[in-house]
Amino acid sequence: MTISVVLADDHVIMRQGLRVLLDKQPGMKVVGEAKDGLVAIKLAEELSPDVVVMDINMPDVDGITATERIAEVAPETRIVALSMSPNKKFVTEMLKAGACGYVLKEYAITELVSAIEAIMAGEIYLCAKTTSLVVEDFVHGSVGNGDLPDSQLTKRQEDILKRLAEGQSSKQIAYEKSLSVKTVDALRRKIMKKLDMDSLAQLVKYAVREGLTNLED
C-alpha cells in the first residue's frame, strides 16, 4: 500500500526538500502541498491523505488549529507536526489537537520517514528533544494537573488573547474573525475571569510569559 502524504509548510524550499525525500521512499507519495493551514484543511478534506506533515507556524491558520479541523473533516488522516522549536507548549497543544508525531525541522531529513512509518503503524512518534520535554513534565507532575491557568483556555480564547496582547482592538479582531464586537468583548471578559485578571496589562504579560506572542515585556 502506498502512503499518501500532504505537506503543509509556508516555506516553498522546505516543501520541495521534503517532497524529494518522501517521493524517493518506496511506498510513499506526496499527493499535495499546502502553503498555509486553510489549504491544508481543504486538501485533507478533498484528498483524504494517510498523513499530513504539518508545520506549526503558518499564516492565517496555524498548524494547531488546522490539525483540530482535519481531525473533524478527515478523521482517518494522521498528523505529524513539524517545528523549528522544541517548545513544550507547542508539543502539548499539537498532541491535544490530534497529532500523532512531532519532529523538529533540523531532524526532518533523518527522522520524518521513520515518524510516518511509526504513526501509520498506530504508534506515537516524538523526536528525542521533544520526548525529553514530555517526560520532564510527567516527572515533575505538571502534565494534566489542571491548575495551570493556560490549561483553562480554549484554542479560540488563546487566539483572542494573542491578538489583544499584540494591540488589536475589539473592532479589528471582530472584523478579522468574522465576529461581532460584542462577542469579542464577551470573550475578553471570560478570558479575564478564567485567568483571574482585571487589566489588559496583566493579559499582555501573561501572553508573553506563556509564549502566545513574541512581544517583549
Please determine, for residue 134, whether its predicted confidence score (pLDDT) is greater than 70. no
What average pLDDT does the structure give for the chain? 84
Please determine, for residue 216, whether its predicted confidence score (pLDDT) is greater than 80. no
**Whose CA is closest to 50, among 105, 7, 108, 95?**
7
Task: Domains for the chain: give ranges and CATH numbers.
Answer: 3-139 (3.40.50.2300), 149-209 (1.10.10.10)
Q: Residue 74 burial (CB < 10 Å; 0-12/13-18/19+)?
A: buried
Q: What is the predicted pLDDT for the residue at 151?
A: 45
- One-letter amino acid for residue 201 of the chain: A
Write out 99-145 in H/E/C secondary structure. CCEEEEHHHHHHHHHHHHHHHHCCCCEECHHHHHHHHHHHHCCCCCC
Please give the angle made by the CA atoms of 98, 15 and 121, to the nearest 5 degrees.
40
pLDDT digits 0-9 by tens, 56-65: 988 888 999 9
Mean pLDDT of 3-29: 95
Q: Which residues pair with 206 in a beta bridge?
A: none
Please determine, for residue 143, whether its predicted confidence score (pLDDT) is greater than 50. no
Share of the chain above pLDDT 70, in %: 88
